[in-house]
């Protein structure tokens, strides 16, 4: 893909400057470029950088909604480290992001592979598989929470109680996390599947023919041809899906009816800020995800770089 | 990939598809069934079946309550955010692919990666800023913050799309004395239809799944969007059908509209992803 880029920058041979007329100078070129970038920059980078700096400052104070607060340095962070609920929420966040992403990738790959070649009725099946993503997530999470809860309690957890009290308790405590993972995977599979399908479409079909001629078996074809070429799409799918999962507070809040039986770092921050008005603590809690986010961004940047060369 | 790989794979593929279709439709089936129940069946009926389907819940949603206002607010936010996002992503993608901005590769990369910044990270300072600017309960607070969620991916779409266009076409136009603006308007823009649709569909998908900002910035039920309004309402067991019916009603136009554009969505994504192959 670098080739296209270089071709675009390099003046075509044989086309001298006089034939094209004076090309706009690089300085004015760059100026126009910055100008066109301005809206996106302001709406993305400024809206991330400014709140981030503000939040870093807040986290060092004991500010509350009704009072500005004073500097208490790292006290909020020390309180967090000592808080067992914080560590529980951190663990839940990690498990949730990891399991949901793995589930979406697995089912999404299955969806892409089975849709890759034409068959009668494929367009209809495609739209049906796209439905979970098209159904607005806030609405589906609200509705599914309200529906699934009574079903699972009445049909699964109560009958288990008759079998074994311990089993029913452990099912009941696992259920909230399972529920948010289920709703997230349900919607995410749809998105990841389309993404990978597009990636598969970009694989030239001659490669499959060559592999078949060489007598490779299908697993080898998948491993040697499909998987490496899908790499770029897979990477992007991971990026988009982890991003969506980490910010998926709505799913958690809505699918527990706001009672937050399961706590993640996001819901702890929400509780501190909105329920208790403790802004300093909320800021510190929210910022605790930052190392994870930055690490993931760096890892993906490196993978994207390697994949592009 | 299956058909080429022998009969066993064909069966496996069919089985996979059946499972996936059931997985996709199951929850939607529940939501439809639930919304058709009357008061008695909501409490004591079967979970997966409705004996006496009724549209009562839909009628009530449409007549009583704030549904109409919430839907109007949602539409306003959706339209404004989609226009702002697609336009600023289009400009950014063009600038990064066609103009000599120093470090443009890095900028494009950074823009894409900023998609991973979660909303939960920033809502506290954003909320305080919204309060300071007196934008609480004002839809503008969402219209300004939502593009941040979609621009990273959309500007990346336009960037890869514009980079992949064959440069000869533009060079030919330049030889004929076409200005930058003419080339953009007459060549690049007409070739970007599917990518614009893909960006718009993606934006709608992201915006309709946002709850945190909506619920924090718009606490007053009179000014809420569907997401905040339905998400924050207290629901008794016998009012379930109403909420689910509201969700279905709110989802229907989005599903139909985006579903109709599904082929273009795929074509647009493909146009941006093919580059590289």
> What is the tens place of the pLDDT at every residue in A74-93?
999 999 999 998 998 889 88
List beta partners, residue A64: A67, A278
Q: In this complex, is the C-beta atom of B259 within 8 Å of any C-beta atom belonging to chain A? A: yes
| Average pLDDT rounded to a whole number, residues A231-253 | 76
Tokens of B174: 């330049």
CA dist A5 and B4 (Å) reads 35
User: Which positions 42-101 of A are in contact with B (Cβ < 8 Å)?
Assistant: 43-45, 47-48, 50-52, 54-55, 58
Would the pLDDT of B112 be above 80? yes
Which residue among A7, A40, A140 sits closest to B167, beta carbon to beta carbon?
A7
pLDDT at B116: 87
Does B68 have pLDDT greater than 60? Answer: yes
pLDDT at A79: 92
CB contact under 8 A, B2 and A116: yes
Map B110-146 to HEC letters. Answer: HHHHHHHCCHHHHHHHHHHHHHHCCCCCCCHHHHHHC
Mutate which of B116, B131, B244, B253 to disrupt the A interface (most A C-beta within 10 Å)?
A: B116
How much is the pLDDT for A147?
A: 78
pTM for this entry: 0.86
Indicate whether B94 pLDDT > 90: yes
The Cα A132–Cα A185 span in angstroms is 10
Cβ <8 Å between A58 and B124: yes
Tell me, what's the pLDDT at A13?
Answer: 42
Residues in A touching B269 (Cβ below 8 Å): 194-195, 198
What's the pLDDT at A7?
A: 38
Section A209-215 average pLDDT: 68
Given this model, what pLDDT does residue B46 score?
A: 75
Lowest mean pLDDT among A250-254, B53-57, B255-259: A250-254
**C-alpha to C-alpha distance for B178 and B184, rounded to whole angstroms:** 10
Contact flag A212-B112 (C-beta cutoff 8 Å): no
Residue A55: its pLDDT value, please? Answer: 94
Task: Give how far B221 is from chain A: nearest CA, Å.
Answer: 17
3-state DSSP call for residue A278?
A: strand
Question: Considering chain B, what percentage of its residues have pLDDT values greater than 70?
Answer: 94
Alpha carbon of A164: minimum distance to chain B alpha carbons (Å): 24
CB atoms A258 and B125 under 8 Å: no
Mean pLDDT of A14-32: 55
Choose the weakest-confidence range: A87-96, A154-163, A255-264, B234-243. A255-264
Summary mean pLDDT of chain B: 86
The answer to whether the beta carbons of residues B172 and A68 sit under 8 Å apart is no
Q: CB neighbours (10 Å) of residue B138?
A: 15
pLDDT band at A4 (very low <50, low <70, confident <90, very high): very low
- Please tell me if residue A21 touches chain B, with a CB cutoff of 8 Å: yes
Beta carbons of B84 and A29 less than 8 angstroms apart: no
Spatial separation of the C-alpha atoms in residues A99 and A291, rounded to whole Å: 20
The string of pLDDT tens digits covering residues B5-41 is 556 778 888 999 999 999 999 999 988 888 898 877 8
Tell me, what's the ipTM?
0.86
The secondary structure of A219-249 as a DSSP string is HHHIIIIIHHHHHHHHHHHHHHHHHHHHTTH
Other beta carbons within 10 Å of B172: 13
* pLDDT band (50, 70, 90) for residue A212: low
Query: So what's the pLDDT on residue A308?
Result: 66
Better-predicted residue by pLDDT, B240 or A32: A32
Binned at pLDDT 50, 70 and 90, residue B238 comes out as: low
Question: What is the Cα–Cα distance from B19 to A110, expressed in whole angstroms?
Answer: 10
pLDDT at site A26: 64
Is residue B230 within 8 Å of A142, Cβ to Cβ?
yes
HEC per residue, chain B: CCHHHCHHHHHHHHHHHHHHHHHHHHHHHHHHHHHCCCHHHHHHCCCCCCCCCCCHHHHHHHHCCCHHHHHHHHHHHHHHHHHHHHHHHHHHHHHHHHCCCCCHHHHHHHHHHHHHCCHHHHHHHHHHHHHHCCCCCCCHHHHHHCHHHHHHHHHHHHHHHHHHCCHHHHHHHHHCCCCHHHHHHHHHCHHHHHHHHHHHHHHHHHHCCCCHHHHHHCCCHHHCCHHHHHHHCCCCHHHHHHHHHHHHHHHHHHHHHHHHCHHHHHHHHHHHHHCCC
How far is B46 from chain A, CA to nearest CA, in Å?
A: 9
The residues, ordered by sequence, that sit 6+ positions from B27 with a Cβ below 8 Å of its Cβ are A132, A140, A144, A186
* CB contact A302 to B (< 8 Å): no
Q: What is the mean pLDDT of residues A35-55?
A: 94
Residue B274 banded pLDDT, cuts 50, 70, 90: low
Mutate to test the interface with A, among B16, B73, B104, B124 (most CBs of A within 10 A): B124
Task: Please tell me if residue A19 touches chain B, with a CB cutoff of 8 Å.
Answer: yes
> Which pLDDT belongs to residue A119?
86
- Residues from chain A contacting residue B127 (CB–CB below 8 Å): 273
B155 touches chain A (CB under 8 A): yes
Contact B91 A221 (CB under 8 A): no
Determine the Cα–Cα distance for residues A261 and A21; give it in Å rounded to an integer: 68
Average the pLDDT over B178-184 and give the result.
84
pLDDT at A180 over 50: yes
Q: Are B120 and A269 inside 8 Å of each other by CB?
A: yes
Q: What residues form DSSP beta bridges with A67?
A: A64
DSSP for A74-118? THHHHHHHH-HHHHHHHHHHHHHHHHHHHHHHHHHHHHHHHHSS-
């Amino acid at each position: 893909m670098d080739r296209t880029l270089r071709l675009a920058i390099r003046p075509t041979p044989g086309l001298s400057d006089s034939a094209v007329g004076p090309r706009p100078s690089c300085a004015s070129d760059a100026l126009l470029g910055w100008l066109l970038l301005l809206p996106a920059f302001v709406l993305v980078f400024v809206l991330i950088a400014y709140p981030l700096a503000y939040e870093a400052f807040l986290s060092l104070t004991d500010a509350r909604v009704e009072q500005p607060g004073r500097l208490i340095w790292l006290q909020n962070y020390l309180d967090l480290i000592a808080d067992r609920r914080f560590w529980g929420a951190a663990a839940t966040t990690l498990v949730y992001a990891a399991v949901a992403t793995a589930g979406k990738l697995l089912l999404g790959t299955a969806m892409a592979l089975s849709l890759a070649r034409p068959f009668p009725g494929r367009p209809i099946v495609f739209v049906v598989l796209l439905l979970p993503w098209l159904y607005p997530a806030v609405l589906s999470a609200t509705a599914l929470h309200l529906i699934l809860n009574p079903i699972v309690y009445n049909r699964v957890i109560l009958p288990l109680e008759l079998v074994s009290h311990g089993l029913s308790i452990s099912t009941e405590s696992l259920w909230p996390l399972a529920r948010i993972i289920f709703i997230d995977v349900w919607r995410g599979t749809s998105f990841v599947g389309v993404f990978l399908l597009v990636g598969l479409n970009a694989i030239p079909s001659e490669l499959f023919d060559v592999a078949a001629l060489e007598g490779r078996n299908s697993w080898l074809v998948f491993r040697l041809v499909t998987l490496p070429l899908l790499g770029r799409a897979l990477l992007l799918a991971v990026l988009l899906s982890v991003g969506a999962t980490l910010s998926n507070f709505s799913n958690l809040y809505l699918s527990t009816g706001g009672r937050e039986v399961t706590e993640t770092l996001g819901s702890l921050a929400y509780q501190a800020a909105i329920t208790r008005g403790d802004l300093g603590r909320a800021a510190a809690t929210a910022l605790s995800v930052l190392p994870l986010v930055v690490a993931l961004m760096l890892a993906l940047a490196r993978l994207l770089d390697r994949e592009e060369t | 990939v299956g058909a080429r790989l022998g009969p066993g794979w064909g069966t496996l593929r069919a089985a996979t598809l059946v499972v996936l279709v059931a997985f996709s439709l199951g929850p939607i089936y529940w939501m439809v069934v639930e919304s058709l129940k009357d008061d008695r069946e909501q409490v004591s009926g079967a979970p997966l079946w409705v004996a006496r389907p009724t549209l009562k819940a839909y009628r009530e949603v449409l007549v009583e309550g704030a549904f109409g206002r919430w839907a109007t607010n949602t539409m306003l936010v959706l339209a404004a955010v989609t226009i702002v996002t697609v336009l600023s992503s289009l400009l950014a993608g063009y600038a990064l692919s066609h103009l000599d901005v120093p470090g443009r590769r890095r900028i494009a990369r950074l823009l894409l990666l900023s998609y991973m910044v979660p909303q939960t990270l920033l809502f506290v300072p954003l909320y305080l800023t919204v309060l300071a600017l007196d934008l609480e309960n004002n839809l503008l607070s969402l219209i300004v913050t939502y593009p941040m969620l979609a621009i990273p991916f959309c500007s990346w779409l336009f960037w890869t799309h514009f980079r992949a266009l064959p440069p000869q076409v533009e060079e030919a136009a330049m030889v004929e004395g076409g200005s930058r603006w003419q080339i953009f308007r007459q060549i690049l823009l007409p070739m970007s239809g599917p990518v614009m649709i893909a960006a718009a569909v993606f934006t709608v998908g992201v915006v309709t799944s946002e709850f945190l900002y909506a619920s924090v910035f718009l606490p007053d039920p009179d000014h809420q969007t569907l997401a905040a309004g339905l998400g924050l309402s207290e629901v008794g067991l016998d009012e379930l059908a109403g909420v689910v019916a509201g969700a279905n009603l709110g989802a229907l136009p989005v599903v139909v509209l985006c579903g109709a554009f599904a082929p273009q969505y795929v074509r647009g994504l493909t146009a941006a992803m093919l580059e590289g192959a």
